[in-house]
Amino acid sequence: MTTESMSAETAARGAPLVEMRDVSIAFGGIKAVDHASLDLYPGEVVGLLGHNGAGKSTLIKVLSGAYKRDAGTILVDGREAEINNPRDAKALGIETIYQTLALADNVDAAANLYLGRELRTRWGTLDDIAMEAACREVMGRLNPNFRRFKEPVKSLSGGQRQSVAIARAIHFNARILIMDEPTAALGPQETAQVGELIKQLKAQGIGIFLISHDIHDVFDLADRLTVMKNGRVVGSARVADVTKDEVLGMIIMGKVPPGAVPGPGAI
């Protein structure tokens, strides 16, 4: 596929939700992300692949506000966005499910669901009952067997914790969803559930970044994929235009197949 055909498709889908241009970030002199560019359209799933330490989680944390970039621009809905902390990202409708889940283990599911966005009564106090009610509602959809609303999430199973983290990301009308290794801690059945969920969200027009080192997941769920290596983008491609072996070649050697658009990290 050529660049032209890609941009033709771009035109068909309208403006990108997110565009990251030449984003760089370094820690202690080591360039974790080096001039990386990435975009995402409504209702699209973009897989981000690469080895551990390739820079994919770091790049995505720049978008979610966890890290502050050293250089580069981020456009949301075509407008330059100032993302300096997680609050900024959330205000733009960017929600993240972190690999670590980022749950406060000592409080219950509802408190985690609403962490940072608590419902309050008209006296300004926490409205725990309303939050619990909403939590029961959203968890009822994601994980109908879930009952342990009063327990700290520390005592929940891996899958239950995962569903709390997912509930938190989708409950606040996210437009851009970042999922960092969402199935790493899950069994086959739960993994399938997450796949179903991604398809539902996609149908609602939400744009999703799916970070994974599992190439099969990405081929099952993503529309496009981008491969990173040593902090640089090796290349991007439509999933339909490349084979798994070609993508493996990109991940391991940085070799870009004809079906992909090379990035600055290509050899």
Cβ atoms of 102 and 168 within 8 Å: the answer is no
Measured CA to CA in angstroms, residue 144 lies from 147, 148, 193, 194, 225 at distances of 8, 11, 12, 14, 32
Closest listed residue to residue 233, CA positions, set 34, 32, 21 = 34
Nearest distance, CB of residue 157 and another protein, angstroms: 11
What the block records as the tokens of 154 is 């520390």
Nearest distance, CB of residue 61 and another protein, angstroms: 9
Element (H or E) spanning 149, and its range? Answer: none
Nearest distance, CB of residue 128 and another protein, angstroms: 8
Nearest distance, CB of residue 206 and another protein, angstroms: 20
Cβ atoms of 211 and 204 within 8 Å: the answer is no
Q: How many CB atoms lie within 10 A of CB 2?
A: 9
Q: Using the minimum distance from each CB to another protein, give the nearer residue, 89 or 210.
A: 89
Q: Using the minimum distance from each CB to another protein, give the nearer residue, 101 or 198.
A: 101
Q: Using the minimum distance from each CB to another protein, give the nearer residue, 89 or 228.
A: 89
Write out the residues near another protein by the rule CB under 8 A: 64, 66, 85-87, 90, 96, 98, 100-107, 111-112, 115-118, 120, 124-126, 129-130, 132-133, 147-152, 155, 168
Q: Using the minimum distance from each CB to another protein, give the nearer residue, 91 or 240.
A: 91
